[in-house]
């Protein structure tokens, strides 16, 4: 299957080469759009869903070169392949569980994707490594403009783009940043950060966005409301807040190096030792230890492996990726054994 080709490449958001990449894993922007002439998804018939999907397919074939993207009909995929795309953050959990006609367009470099028939008819999603929301906005704004030339969006002169969820009405934009904040967790300052974000109407979610729980000290921060805000204002708000969190995390890391050097070194070294020797390990435990490993490398406490290698392990030890690499479905016990074997092999290479 064509999406299997992605197994051999690292997702754009995990490259580890963007601004502030020691703390900011990735930046993302999502646009919600609906097509006129069709009901919202909660009232759409299967015929409507198929018509929407074909309209989008025709539009993207006019815009992009055929060898530059994958257009995947998700109703043709089994649960394993859908979860594989979800782990790569190319589709949402809702789309994993959706029945009927739905699809996703994926840029071959995984710099953007377009979900079709999720909560809205279209969800245009751009991502990049590190902290660079302006770069993503430039990219997906161009994609959105080209689509709008071919697809008639539902737009209200007063309220802006109309969406299934009232919180998305207006620009339909959500700006989010994924942060790795282990030092703030260790120093017990993370709750203070969360309270400050709530006061300025920013949401905190887990690594897989809405509905997911934080794992491995990774958090997604995003705007909650778009109505009454311009795209520039939403990007500026995130751009003002995130550097403050980055500075706070760096201060916490400096404190740990200065005041708790042996304790934090022990934590990071133990994580490396366990990952290199475990015979069975769960995905959640793996995430926690890889978080410590990543912290140790960025703080100069560990010399190897490189950050992109660690980022790759985050992705390829997830359940669906592990099974795709293995070539068949595995029980949870089998996955835990296979995960430990995969980690030992990859870390021994370094």
Report domain extents, the chain.
2-253, 260-348
Domain 2-253 architecture: 2-Layer Sandwich (3.30)
Residue 34's pLDDT band (cuts 50, 70, 90): very high
The model scores a pTM over 0.85: yes
pLDDT at 137: 96
As a three-state string, the secondary structure of the chain is CHHHHHHHCCCHHHCCCCCCCCCEEEEEEEEEECECCCCCCCCCCHHHHHHHHHHHHHHHHHHCCHHHEEEEEHHHCCHHHHHHHHHCCCCCHHHHHCCCCCEEEEECCCCEEEEECCCCCEEEEEEEECCCHHHHHHHHHHHHHHHHHHCCECEECCCEECCCCHHHCECCEEEEEEEECHHHHHCCCHHHHHHHHHHCCEEEEECCECCCCCCCCEEEEEECCCCCCCHHHHHHHHHHHHHHHHHHHHHHHHHHHHHCHHHHHHHHHHHHHHHHHCCCCCHHHHHHHHHHHHHHHHCCCCCCCCHHHHHHHHHHCCHHHHHHHHCCCCCHHHHHHHHHHHHHHHHHCC
pLDDT at 226: 78
Residue 107's pLDDT band (cuts 50, 70, 90): very high
pLDDT at 291 over 90: yes
Average pLDDT over residues 266-286: 95
Q: What is the pLDDT of residues 116-171, one digit of tens each?
A: 999 999 999 999 999 999 999 999 999 999 999 999 999 999 999 999 988 889 99
């Amino acid at each position: 299957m064509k999406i299997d080709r992605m197994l051999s490449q690292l997702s754009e958001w995990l490259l580890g080469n963007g601004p502030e990449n020691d703390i900011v894993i990735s930046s993302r922007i999502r646009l919600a759009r609906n097509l006129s002439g069709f009901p919202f998804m909660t009232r759409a018939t299967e015929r409507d869903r198929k018509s929407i999907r074909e309209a989008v397919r025709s539009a993207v074939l006019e815009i992009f070169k055929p060898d530059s993207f994958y257009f995947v009909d998700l109703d043709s995929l089994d649960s394993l392949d859908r979860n594989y795309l979800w782990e790569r953050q190319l589709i949402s959990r809702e789309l994993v569980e959706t029945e009927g006609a739905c699809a996703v367009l994926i840029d071959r470099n995984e710099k953007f994707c377009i979900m079709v028939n999720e909560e809205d008819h279209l969800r245009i999603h751009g991502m990049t490594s590190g902290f660079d929301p302006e770069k993503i906005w430039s990219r997906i704004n161009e994609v959105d403009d080209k689509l709008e030339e071919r697809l008639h969006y539902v737009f209200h002169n007063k309220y802006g783009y109309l969406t299934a969820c009232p919180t998305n009405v207006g620009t339909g934009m959500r700006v989010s940043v994924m942060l790795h904040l282990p030092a703030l967790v260790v120093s017990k300052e993370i709750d203070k950060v969360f309270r400050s974000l709530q006061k300025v109407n920013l949401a905190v979610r887990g690594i897989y966005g809405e509905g997911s729980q934080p794992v491995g000290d990774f958090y997604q921060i995003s705007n909650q409301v778009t109505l009454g805000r311009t795209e520039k204002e939403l990007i500026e708000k995130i751009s003002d807040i995130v550097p403050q969190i980055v500075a706070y995390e760096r201060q916490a890391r400096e404190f740990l190096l200065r005041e708790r050097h042996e304790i934090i070194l022990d934590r990071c070294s133990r994580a490396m030792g366990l990952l290199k020797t475990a015979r069975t390990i769960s995905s959640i435990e793996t995430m926690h230890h890889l978080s410590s490993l990543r912290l140790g490398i960025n703080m100069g406490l560990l010399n190897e492996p490189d950050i992109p290698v660690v980022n790759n392990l985050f992705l390829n030890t997830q359940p669906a990726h592990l099974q795709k690499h293995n070539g068949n479905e595995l029980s949870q016990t089998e996955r835990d054994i296979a995960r430990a074997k995969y980690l030992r092999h990859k870390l021994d290479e370094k």
